[in-house]
Chains A and B, each alone.
Chain A
């Protein structure tokens, strides 16, 4: 006969830790949903609960997520290219030809990389426009918010994105690459005083040669992606610290007058309003079931739609659109017209329009169009959050009445940039002469 063995109770998990290992995409309770964010490292950058308003398709258009997805695609498609591309003047062009013709799926991989790069420039600009038009760079109700800082980070990321694209332009070492970089760096050289030195620093000499190629290559594959990665992480961190999208703030503000329903638990106040966010705000709108949903799975599902959707669109487009590769770079033959990358074409257009010939005397527009104007615009963009004097109610709302004038001015400037870009892209032919898109350019002669 044996005495009944006293079984020890199974160890209870620490408070806040889900007893099951892992997590579920279809949590049975809010608690399980919140645990997913704790349990999964990748979901850490989401809050446990998120306001319905910030999930809306037509508020943010998810442009930030799209650009992050494009960045992911660029990194993924860039990896195989790193193994295949040879950054040498003698072999770069041939290695790109090999990627195009004989590497398995090489042409598709290169197209994915190129399309994502071009699209990323466009989407990042659109994202910036969205943030401007909704006044999302403004601090709302949360204490400790630093949304202007995040806006500045965003402007920095735009510039890094442009440079990433521009440095990638040179790598195939074809005529397009060579002359686009020639135009781009000649603009840099028009800065009074330091221009020539700056160009020499960029090129590693006075001509586009091996020294330039290796500089652009290292910038393209190490320095700039590293910088963008760090800025990106900081950008995401700031969004969490600032309490999510600016629109969530606004929802709080508007509903603060509603009756405060005491909530029984504080477990899920992970929304991330940092540094002494007043409990009244938490207790009012943000916690209310009708204004928020669980991040897992609702936010995760939408993020998956956007990221996978971007991947699908690029993947299909890359089958249809092949990346061009022109003749090998030839410093002796200038293609006519020689154009900068499309996102700089508005500048090239302004440069030509501000270049004035009076008899034999020429006023070079490169300084105005290439340096002064973009410098001024970037400066204004950077410091705009401190120049904007509109009220808090204008935060996170499209075309707020307070910000009507600045929004119109911003849109006007955008329109000018778009029009000049379109003219530069579609209406400029040989000798930078104007042609309507339906007009044919004069035939370009061949050798044989």
Chain B
């Protein structure tokens, strides 16, 4: 029998390999465990417990489990806040502590969650599912939650410590003079009018040129401010508050006067200033945005003239969609059919029938139109014939007078 050559390696290497095996098992256990370490698991457990306590186990079974999100395709936001804030749509948790509190109903009436999600108003990081990251209190996230914690950090003078939220309200409401529920921004907008900020600054595209254009000043990078004379928090918001209170204290060579604004006024104005950013919102999100294509005065006058002039009947009935009646000053937008000014003559030459006969028993396209789109009673048909005769008379009169008809017939049946 052949033998295997002796080797020292099994004795030395087997324990090492065993250790590696142990390390692999530990590694697997660790990574499975780390995936369980999310605080939402606790909050969901706790909310379920509270619901059981309040409404019984049957109700609690309807509380969804696992990561939840609001997906708003129009805003491209996936807000996972409701993974922990499960009570937002529940009645009966109005006075509970966060994250188990019911969302106030009033703002949600006009801002349904399906269309707005959470972060467009509240800021924070909707993608995240751990509280610090979700509230944006982490490095590399520049939109922290605009909650009362932040208000307290800035010792807001407003009665509502959560008023910083209004910065985001004004992303959509920036062109409103006054918006219900936006106390601080309303105050700031009033101050902008009263103090005459536009004397020096362009705001929303209008104003003077002594100071910098403020239309999109909210987008200015925080690094671009000079903080050398600012004490306390180094943020763009803190800079603006200090600068509004005493401009010369921060920028020595400034010509901006000191308006002796109160703390609340300066904070409100700083919020307003930070809200002036470029946004890529759909126009349906911005109140007051015109959603029509307004007519020029000439176009409006022309429409008015056609609707009230001698050809008004043809406009009202809808004939003018396809036919001009140039003799009566009616110009068709489509001009698919022939000009009806000469219909009396034209019908005869085209169809070999009188106008009366044709209208009673129309053929071709007109048979379809008059049986589906424009249904006329015999009386209305009589009116039509009368009007068309009038138009023909007018046409002849104009021709005799050598006046040029404004429109030439286009197309044919």
Contacts and interface: CB of A to CB of B under 8 A. Distances in A.
B290 interface: no
Interface stretch (B5-13, B57-65, B180-188, B377-385): B5-13
Contacts of A301: 9-10, 13-14, 17
Interface stretch (A159-167, A307-315, A404-412, A420-428): A307-315
Nearest to A96: B127
Given A301-B13, A301-B17, A308-B24, A448 B34 contact: no
Interface in A284-335: 289, 292-294, 297-298, 301-302, 304-305, 308-309, 311-313, 315-316, 318-319, 324-327, 332-333
B319 to A, nearest CB: 49
A304 B27 contact: no
Nearest to A318: B31
A436 B372 CA distance: 86
Contacts of B20: 304-305, 308-309, 312
B127 A302 contact: no
A305 B236 contact: no
A102 B67 contact: yes
Interface in B119-145: 127-129, 133, 140-144
Contacts of A39: none
A30 B2 contact: yes
A173 to B, nearest CB: 13
B301 to A, nearest CB: 45
B76 to A, nearest CB: 8
A90 B280 CA distance: 13
B146 interface: yes
A448 B236 contact: yes
Interface in A7-36: 27-33
B237 A313 contact: no
Interface in B14-44: 14, 16-17, 20-21, 23-24, 26-28, 30-31, 34-35
Given A448-B146, A448-B274, A443 B234 contact: yes
Contact of A298 (B10, B127, B133): B10
A260 to B, nearest CB: 19
B224 to A, nearest CB: 9
A309 B19 CA distance: 9
B236 A445 contact: yes
B93 interface: no
Contacts of A311: 24, 27
B5 A293 contact: yes
B80 interface: yes
Contact of A319 (B1, B14, B31): B31
A45 interface: no
Given A319-B27, A446-B236, A30 B3 contact: yes
B164 interface: yes
B3 A315 contact: no
Given A30-B3, A55-B9, A324-B140, A445 B235 contact: yes
B27 A447 contact: no
A179 interface: no
B27 A294 contact: no
Given A102-B67, A305-B20, A447 B222 contact: yes
B221 A333 contact: yes
Interface residues of A, number: 52
Nearest to B17: A305
A376 B4 CA distance: 52
Nearest to A292: B5
A327 B7 contact: no
Interface in A29-85: 29-33, 55
A319 B222 CA distance: 34
Nearest to B26: A316
A27 B4 contact: yes
A333 B67 contact: no
B300 to A, nearest CB: 41
Contact of A446 (B7, B14, B234): B234
B4 A319 contact: no
A109 to B, nearest CB: 10
A127 to B, nearest CB: 21
Contact of B7 (A105, A294, A445, A447): A294
B45 interface: no
Contacts of A446: 142, 222, 234-236
A47 to B, nearest CB: 14
B127 A101 contact: yes
B7 A293 contact: yes
B275 to A, nearest CB: 11
B5 A447 contact: no
Contact of A105 (B26, B31, B143, B225): B31
B223 interface: yes
Q: Which of B9, B76, B80 has the most CB of A within 10 A?
A: B9
A31 B2 contact: yes
B150 interface: yes
Interface string A409-448: 0000000000000000000000000000000000111111
Contact of A101 (B23, B76, B128, B146): B128
A326 B4 CA distance: 58
Contacts of B223: 333, 336, 444-445
A268 to B, nearest CB: 10
Interface in B41-79: 67, 69, 76, 78
A94 interface: yes
Interface string A230-242: 0000000000000
Nearest to B6: A289
A98 interface: yes
Contact of A102 (B7, B23, B80): B80
A448 B141 CA distance: 11
A108 interface: yes
A97 interface: yes
A304 B17 contact: yes
A326 B31 contact: no
B407 to A, nearest CB: 49
Contacts of B285: none
Given A294-B5, A305-B20, A311-B24, A327 B80 contact: no
Contact of A108 (B35, B80, B227): B35
Contact of A447 (B2, B14, B235): B235
B222 A305 contact: no
A311 B24 CA distance: 8
B127 A94 contact: yes
Interface string B232-248: 00111101000000000
Contacts of B221: 332-333
Contacts of A104: 35
A312 B25 CA distance: 8
Contacts of A333: 221, 223
Q: Which of A32, A175, A312 has the most CB of B within 10 A?
A: A312
Interface in B146-195: 146, 150, 164, 167
Given A308-B20, A444-B223, 13 more contacts: A30-B4, A31-B2, A98-B78, A101-B129, A292-B5, A294-B7, A304-B17, A312-B27, A327-B141, A447-B142, A448-B143, A448-B237, A448-B274
25 contacts: A27-B4, A29-B2, A30-B2, A30-B3, A31-B2, A101-B127, A101-B128, A102-B127, A289-B6, A293-B5, A293-B7, A298-B13, A302-B9, A308-B20, A308-B21, A311-B24, A312-B23, A312-B27, A315-B24, A315-B27, A318-B31, A327-B142, A445-B234, A445-B239, A448-B143
Interface of B: 1-7, 9-10, 13-14, 16-17, 20-21, 23-24, 26-28, 30-31, 34-35, 67, 69, 76, 78, 80, 127-129, 133, 140-144, 146, 150, 164, 167, 221-223, 225, 227, 234-237, 239, 274
7 cross-chain pairs, A with B, having the tightest CB-CB distances, nearest first: A315-B27, A29-B2, A312-B23, A97-B127, A445-B222, A298-B9, A445-B234
